[in-house]
Amino acid sequence: MPGNGISLEAQGLTRIYGRGSEEVRALDGVSLQIRKGEFVSFMGPSGSGKTTLVNLLGCLENPTSGDLHLAGRHIFGHGQVLGERDLTRIRREVFGYIFQNFYLIPTLTVRENVALPLAFYTKPGADVEVEHILGKLGMEHRLDHLPGQISGGEMQRVAIARALVNRPEILLADEPTGNLDTTRTGEIGEILQELNRSTGLTILMVTHNPELGRLGGRHIEMRDGQAYET
């Protein structure tokens, strides 16, 4: 598989949760391939399994069963899982994460929030990226503002910049506009689409918003823990 342009490959991914005496099959044998540079939208109602699937693809959760390969490297499967140290390294080196909640540190400035991941790990050259990324996202005039001094749409731009500062190979966006109004949703969608188009960044986006979902070049509908191409 190395060199064939496949970034992620999942085979039979299943995730079962216990809820009292009940078993909840949140994900039911999903198999798919994600190619480098794709912008994939995962859509579906609440409880359909879309966030669980993307969490597994992003190494944030372990599957109950199934296999996952990242750029040809075995991550999960056959009863084996990489150790937590290796998984932590993969999360910080390969992935950038954006969530519905911004998770900005209220006592740090915009610049400091974006630079925070660099305190734990820095790819070569990434330490010069902070102001450059914020400038590309239209936030150069907010560098020294605190999160409480900027709008919700601006806070999500800061969260995007923070996810990009270590030059990830894959960006995971879980309901990135869930707390934003229609105008701000459109702005964030355009930013993600332009990132994918101009840099070739692989983007996996979870959304319940059909208009936002259509921005992806590939659409996967989640129903009852199973994935369907649409």
Measuring CA to CA, how many Å separate 187 from each of 136, 156, 224?
13, 10, 31
Instruction: Report the alpha-carbon distance of residue 56 to residue 62 in Å, rounded.
Output: 6
Which parts of the chain have pLDDT scores under 70? 1-4, 78-80, 124-128
Is residue 1 included in any domain, yes or no?
Answer: no
Structural domain that includes position 51 = 35-65+81-229
- Flag whether 71 is in a domain: no
Domain contains 142 = yes
Give the pLDDT of residue 71: 86
| CB crowding 24-55: b at 16 or more within 10 Å, else e | eebbbebebebeeebbbbbbbeeebbbbbbbb
Segment 39-64, tens digit of pLDDT: 999 999 989 999 999 999 999 999 99
| 146 domain residue, yes or no | yes
Average predicted confidence (pLDDT) for the chain: 90
What pTM did the predictor assign?
Answer: 0.91
CATH number of residue 195's parent domain: 3.40.50.300
Q: Could you tell me if 208 and 175 are in contact, meaning their C-beta atoms sit under 8 angstroms apart?
A: yes
| DSSP secondary structure code for residue 166 in this structure | T
Instruction: Decide: helix, strand or coil at residue 26.
Output: strand
Res 129: pLDDT: 82
Q: Is residue 140 part of a domain?
A: yes
Q: What is the pLDDT of residues 168-190, one digit of tens each?
A: 999 999 999 988 989 989 999 99
- Cα torsion 208, 190, 188, 120 to 10°: value is 110
Inside any domain, residue 214:
yes
Query: Contact 166/93 with Cβ under 8 angstroms?
Result: yes
| 50 part of a folded domain | yes
**What does the pLDDT read at residue 80?**
66
- Count of domains for the chain: 1
H/E element, 53? helix 50-57
Please indicate, yes or no, if residue 153 is contained in any of the structural domains.
yes
| Residues β-bridged to residue 68 | 10, 76
